[in-house]
A = this chain, B = another copy of it.
Amino acid sequence: MANRVDEILSWYGSDNPGVLKNLRWMMDTGTLAGTGKMVILPVDQGFEHGPARTFAKNAPGYDPHYHYQLAIDAGCNAYAAPLGFLEAGARTYAGRIPTILKLNNSDSLYSSEDPCPAITGSVDDALRLGCAAIGYTIYPGSAHRNEMYGELRAISEEAKAAGLAVVVWSYPRGSGLSKDGETGIDVAAYAAQIAAQLGAHIIKVKPPTDFIEQDAARKVYESEGIKIDTLADRVQHVIQSAFDGRRIVIFSGGAAKGEEEVLEEIKGIAQGGGFGSIMGRNSFQRSKTEGIKLLQAAMQIYKDA
C-alpha cells in the first residue's frame, strides 16, 4: 500500500520535500492511510452560506471543536476550514489531524453574477497553526477569474517554498457560463486543467454531468468519441484532463442529500479512478453517528476500488 503513496509523490518532482511531507501526512492519516485515496472534511459553509443554513440541522456543529473531532473519529485524511474555525481549535487538536487553511472565502450576503472571494488567511497563518496545506478557491468563468488566478499563483509560490501543499477548489461560475454549464463535463475537465496548470497539488472539482457547454468542445467530444455517458466515464475524463492522472483530483459532495444517493455518486467517482471525496454538508449536517457512518461507507468504497 505504501508503494501507492510513493508512486503518487513521485508525480510531484518539482516540489520540495516539505510539500511531499505534507502530502504524505494527509495520505498516511485515517482510515484510507496508505491507499492514495482521500476523504476530507471541509467546513467553510458557515462563511459561505451562513450559520443557520449550515449548522442548524445538527446544532453541535456550531462548535468549531465538533468538526476537528468528527474528522478524527470518522478517520478522515484532513480537515479544511477558514481561519476562525482553525484558530478556535488548533491548540487543542495540534498535530492530531492534518488541517487545510482555506485562504479565500465568499459570503452570500452579497451576491454577484461574477463572484470573487475575499482573502481570509495567509501562508504565515497556516504555518503558525501547524497546517499541512493551504486551500484556495478559483471561479473559472467569472469576470474576475484572472485576479483569483494571480492571487493563487503568488500564494502558491509562498506556500510551496514553506513546504505547504496547495489544494485548489476549482468551481466554474460566473457570467461566462450557463447554470448547467457550471457542472458540464467540458467545463469540469477544463476547470481541472486550469487548477493543474496553476500548480495545484490537489484539485477539487464537482462531479460532472453529461452537459456540454461549449460548441467548440462539443465537436471534439463527438468527433473523438470521448465517453461521457456514466459518471465513471466523466470522472475518468476529468482525471485525464488533470495531467493524465499525475495530479490528485478529488470530488465534492455538494448539497446534503440521501445517504444512498451520496454513496451511489461516490461509487461512480471511485470507478472512474477518482482519488477521493471532500464531503462537508453530507457529513456534519447529519448527527455525529450518522455522519461518521456515511463517511466510513464512503471510505469503504474507495478502499474496495
- Distance (whole angstroms) from the CB of A63 to the closest CB of chain B: 4
* B197–A110 CB distance below 8 A: no
Contact count band on A: 35 or more
Are the CB atoms of A13 and B18 closer together than 8 Å? no
Q: How many copies does the complex hold?
A: 5
Q: Is the CB of A20 within 8 A of B172?
A: no
A119 on the B face (CB < 8 A): yes
Residues of B within 8 A of A193 (CB): 46-47, 50-51
* Given A12-B87, A52-B189, A124-B157, 17 extra CB contacts under 8 A: A13-B88, A13-B91, A14-B16, A14-B86, A14-B88, A16-B90, A16-B128, A17-B91, A18-B129, A20-B95, A21-B130, A24-B95, A50-B214, A62-B244, A84-B200, A118-B149, A129-B163
| A→B interface (CB under 8 Å) | 9, 11-25, 28, 46-47, 49-53, 55-57, 59-60, 62-64, 66, 82-92, 94-96, 105-112, 116-122, 124-125, 127-131, 140-143, 145-150, 153-154, 157, 161-163, 172, 174-177, 186-187, 189-194, 196-200, 214, 216-217, 220-221, 224, 226, 237, 240-241, 243-244, 246-247
